Structure 1
């Protein structure tokens, strides 16, 4: 699996895309992902989370994750490493923060007040990150400290666990049967979960924010991209394994989803 490293103590990224541009990957650093606009699904390790505008996620060093965008999504990402903690928090404060960060919860459901405050702090952080000044580092570090502190304070009441209702079982079933197209037909999956066939697609979209067909297609292509980059498999093998008619069909689907050819993606991952 591709592992992304951080060159600085703190970095800030912004994405506004129709599709998540990366394959499943791990980091050597911490990330806070603030959903500015859009909806879809976020996979962290073996868990799936539905996201909407205003949601916040935290991922830790060594965790794998990727998004499936149901619509064009804007994400602001703050990245920071272990050195940031050691430089800015005392032992007791550090222990409290890490208790929250290392909980089993990755999505933080914000109150309206906290969402507004976090949004304003993100704006301050971004403007300070772009503007060089004598106090730039001090402003950035103190603002990030405040964001983390507010997030951890919010988690006391608003921790959100991965969905534990029927949709969670459906998503798990899709993962387990992703290579079996017949098992994933609307007819079969609706019967398996005792949901009316005509209602299933409506139920799935309401629960996840994505159409069933789009979700399965995107999940398949992310799985293929991961195996193509990290395993010694040919496109023909992957096309056969995941039910594509041939290598050309897979390549066209791949290009439409990632906006790059399989060869270009593999070369990019090798850099």
Structure 2
């Protein structure tokens, strides 16, 4: 299968198409897609769903995708590689940027398509304006454009992450308000081993340590420890797929004892080694 590549760490393009002539393909880059006008169907791996004006998608590297255009469509494509996050001039460190991106990728349900929840009109409008501003700065290419684009991209990632977090919190709040806040706290502090210890959480939310695990299990399909482990492994998946971080580095960031601990936990939950996961074939899709 064709793997589309970009030669620069960051690109943005507008394409107005009546027919999607490309075969289903994969990328070597991340791609944020905004549908300005038009409608049709999108395929990601083996999942298909409709798209319409205003939709926003995030496509990770190596996901197979294509579009079946029903009405002439204007696409905004923002494409960037992991090298974009490694620039010394970038606002914030590589690690901070990639943490945010990994959080979005690991928790974004691609089958649902649009990354912004239906009804979040102001949030969608803000994100669309940011995308269009990025395009204008990309075209202007003056002495300030690069720095402005970096700042705008930071805002885009923060908005996407906030929407992902809201999904978690709302799911929890539908069961119990306090549980929703607990989920928010865990997701917000997933990289901080001390803050997501049971003892700290029980103090934060005024639930006795002896009852906390029972309370969590009552409102979740997983036990507290299972939920934390699965949340960390989702992030680990993203790092292994989309970055050059070593197993040792990922283990350290996510609070595992060492690389062996992460490897054993990964194999127990996925029934495969990390190396097998990295080499795994991605499903092919068709229009």
Q: How does 1:176-195 map to 2 (within 5 A)?
A: none
96-105 or 62-71, which moves further after superposition? 96-105
Report if aligned partners of 2:107, 2:164 keep a CA contact under 8 Å in 1. Answer: no
Report if aligned partners of 2:43, 2:66 keep a CA contact under 8 Å in 1. Answer: yes
Instruction: Quote the Cα distance in structure 2 between the aligned partners of 1:96 and 1:132.
Output: 26
Report if aligned partners of 1:31, 1:79 keep a CA contact under 8 Å in 2. Answer: yes
Instruction: Quote the Cα distance in structure 2 between the aligned partners of 1:86 and 1:135.
Output: 19
Change (3 A) 1:93 1:15: closer
CA-based RMSD of the aligned residues comes to 2.1
Instruction: Quote the Cα distance in structure 2 between the aligned partners of 1:158 and 1:37.
Output: 26
Candidates 119, 131, 143, aligned match of 1:134: 143
Task: Give TM-score, length-normalised by structure 1.
Answer: 0.55
Query: 2:246 is matched with which residue?
Result: none
Report if aligned partners of 1:39, 1:53 keep a CA contact under 8 Å in 2. Answer: yes
**Shift of the alpha carbon at 1:109?**
2.7
Report if aligned partners of 1:101, 1:152 keep a CA contact under 8 Å in 2. Answer: no
Instruction: Quote the Cα distance in structure 1 between the aligned partners of 2:131 and 2:76.
Output: 8
Change (3 A) 1:92 1:10: closer
Report if aligned partners of 2:138, 2:145 keep a CA contact under 8 Å in 1. Answer: yes
**Shift of the alpha carbon at 1:156?**
2.4
Structure 1: stretches of 5+ with no match in the other structure: 160-221, 225-271
Query: 2:129 is matched with which residue?
Result: 120
**Shift of the alpha carbon at 1:124?**
1.1
Residue 26 in 1 paired to residue 26 in 2? yes
**Shift of the alpha carbon at 1:93?**
5.1
Instruction: Quote the Cα distance in structure 1 between the aligned partners of 2:286 and 2:99.
Output: 37
- Aligned residue for 1:139, secondary structure, equals helix
100-109 or 7-16, which moves further after superposition? 100-109
**Shift of the alpha carbon at 1:157?**
3.2
- Aligned residue for 1:70, secondary structure, equals strand
Instruction: Quote the Cα distance in structure 2 between the aligned partners of 1:32 and 1:84.
Output: 14
Instruction: Quote the Cα distance in structure 2 between the aligned partners of 1:28 and 1:109.
Output: 24
Q: How does 1:1-271 map to 2 (within 5 A)?
A: 1-87=1-87, 88=90, 89-90=92-93, 91-92=95-96, 94-103=98-107, 105-106=109-110, 107=113, 108-110=115-117, 111-158=120-167
Task: Give TM-score, length-normalised by structure 2.
Answer: 0.53
Report if aligned partners of 2:46, 2:286 keep a CA contact under 8 Å in 1. Answer: no
Detail structure 1 runs of 4+ shifted over 4 Å in the superposition: none
Number of residue pairs the alignment of both structures matches = 162
Structure 2: stretches of 5+ with no match in the other structure: 169-284
Instruction: Quote the Cα distance in structure 2 between the aligned partners of 1:223 and 1:119.
Output: 29
- Aligned residue for 1:113, secondary structure, equals helix
Instruction: Quote the Cα distance in structure 2 between the aligned partners of 1:118 and 1:100.
Output: 15
Report if aligned partners of 1:109, 1:158 keep a CA contact under 8 Å in 2. Answer: no
Change (3 A) 1:93 1:139: closer
- Aligned residue for 2:107, secondary structure, equals coil
Change (3 A) 1:151 1:61: same
